[in-house]
Chains A and B, each alone.
Chain A
Amino acid sequence: MNTQELALVFYTILVQMSVGAFVILGFVHLYAERKSDQKNADEMSDRALLAIGPVVVLGVLASLFHLGNPANAFRAVSNLGTSWLSREILFTLLFVGTGAVFAVLQWRKIGSFRLRQMIALAAAVLGVAVVYSMSSIYQLTSQPAWDSLATPINFFSTAFLLGALVLGVAFVINYSYLQGKKDRANIDIQSEMLRKVLQWIALSSIALLGLQLVVMPLFVSQLSAGNAAALESAGKLTSEYGWIFAVRLVLVALGAGVFGLFLYRNALLNNQRMMANYAFVAFALVLVAELLGRYLFYAMHVRIGI
């Protein structure tokens, strides 16, 4: 791996996390609106929405470090006809742009609720297109370790796993902010929504962990049955980088599995202090696990031929 590929580790993780958080936040808002009203739903989700902005911008900035010649970066959308990289960059720009427009309208409550909802839906669809085109970049015949269904599955599972858990943290912080406000009329409904949403976040994390644990061995056995380059990649994953692979698996199982379960349990019992702590720990562990996993993705690939 070279430093340019290290930039991609941060770019792909941060952007995927942002897309996942944005999409899931939409569902949370829908739920909160039905459970209470628009105002309470906004109170719960608006600050989290604004927090996505810096994360995605940081990701896009990281991507510039991937370029040997960033002065030409504007040319990167010149081959939309055949290059998935061009498409990915276009979709990323559209996602960031539409998401930013939505965030401003939503924050300032400009335009009707319906209109804002439509813009948010458009941004969410663009976000999914970002992750899809990102994974299509790696569907290269020359790179058997990437040219697999495992790539899109992993990218989407990263998006939703990290997206869900980072929202958990955001909601916990938002709730403690609401608790500190003078007007605490709605704190009970906010507390009720928080613990319900944290339960769903915990269950989704456990489900996505399950998906990862199914895909992982299938992927390794697919590589082991492949050509020389595929075998070399499998060897890198299990020997040269075997310990990173092991640490990554332990961390994701701990974060999404064990702490996911703790989070679910404490949210169910409405044990507020503990569920806040577990939301933080689960996110931190899974973030490190996903960064290591993405590092492996770029460290293990071996090109066929010469």
Chain B
Amino acid sequence: MANQLGFYVDMSRCTGCKACQVSCKTVNQLPLGVTWRRVVEVDGGEWIQDGEQYVPSNVFAYFVSAACMHCENPLCIQVCPAAAITKRDDGIVLIDQDKCIGCRYCEWACPYGAPQFDADRGVMSKCHFCYERIDGGEKPACVEGCTYRAIDFGPLDELRAKYGDFASPAPLPEASITSPSIVYSPTSHTLAEGSPMGEVMNREEL
């Protein structure tokens, strides 16, 4: 998709404050249990022996802010039996809640946990890239809400030209599965996908 939009996250600026998450939730008035943008905390480190005692070594933490990746190959669209999910010309993946049957198949299929079940309405709900704001010339809520200016968005080609094409910090899955429209700038501690070195510390928040 030539004019595919994507997100950019500078992980070296992110402190894990979750302002992006809160900003998204507020602007989009998300119900309890639905969180379109989530911030994963990954920690790691080890104890090494130093003479008589063990001391911590290589201790690290990093944060992965992630929402819907508006993938080039969206599994959610492929599996949705109601054809309720579509991709716009600018690559934004949208759920039409009037067509959704609430079968939650997209929730099973998406490795980013993007489609979430809105129990009040019985249908799926997902980051829509704040398309109404974008169409009106504004920025997405998460981009605007980030206190450290760590999140940006734009045409994916431009983001990749500027920042590279790293898309899979652990615990995100291999990029080859869905070709996500995202670029991350890693920190020196960021682990690549599949690494067993780190552990997700806030699973109940995701």
What residues of chain A have their CB less than 8 Å away from a CB belonging to chain B? 4, 66-70, 72-73, 75-79, 82-86, 89, 137, 140-143, 227-228, 301, 303-306
Contacts and interface: CB of A to CB of B under 8 A. Distances in A.
Nearest to A87: B81
6 contacts: A75-B99, A79-B81, A140-B108, A140-B109, A141-B111, A305-B171
B148 interface: no
B101 interface: yes
Contacts of B110: 142, 305
Interface string B30-54: 0000000010100000000000000
Contact of B113 (A4, A70, A89, A306): A306
Label chain B's interface by main secondary structure: loop
Contacts of B103: 66-68, 76, 85
B201 interface: no
A305 B82 contact: no
B81 A76 contact: yes
B206 A306 contact: yes
A242 B80 CA distance: 33
Contact of A68 (B64, B99, B104, B200): B104
Contacts, number: 111
Contacts of A83: 78-81, 105
A305 B102 contact: no
A220 to B, nearest CB: 20
Nearest to A89: B81
A142 B173 contact: yes
Interface of B: 38, 40, 64, 66, 75, 77-84, 99-105, 108-113, 117, 119, 121-124, 171-173, 177, 194, 196, 200, 206
Given A70-B102, A72-B101, A72-B102, 20 more contacts: A4-B104, A69-B121, A75-B101, A78-B83, A78-B99, A79-B81, A82-B77, A85-B81, A85-B103, A137-B105, A140-B79, A142-B75, A142-B109, A142-B173, A143-B108, A228-B171, A228-B196, A301-B108, A306-B40, A306-B172
A304 B173 contact: yes
A306 B112 contact: yes
Contacts of A228: 171, 194, 196
Instruction: From B40, B108, B112, name the one whose CB has the most chain A CB atoms within 10 angstroms.
Output: B108
Nearest to A73: B101
B82 A304 contact: no
B99 A305 contact: no
A303 B111 CA distance: 7
Nearest to B168: A305
A73 to B, nearest CB: 6
B79 A72 contact: no
Contacts of B77: 82
Instruction: From A66, A73, A75, name the one whose CB has the most chain B CB atoms within 10 angstroms.
Output: A75
Contacts of A69: 100-102, 121-123
Nearest to A85: B81
A67 B75 CA distance: 20
Contacts of A306: 38, 40, 64, 66, 111-113, 171-172, 200, 206
A79 B74 CA distance: 14
B111 A142 contact: yes
A304 B77 CA distance: 18
A41 B11 CA distance: 73
A73 B123 CA distance: 12
Given A69-B100, A76-B101, A140-B108, A85 B117 contact: no
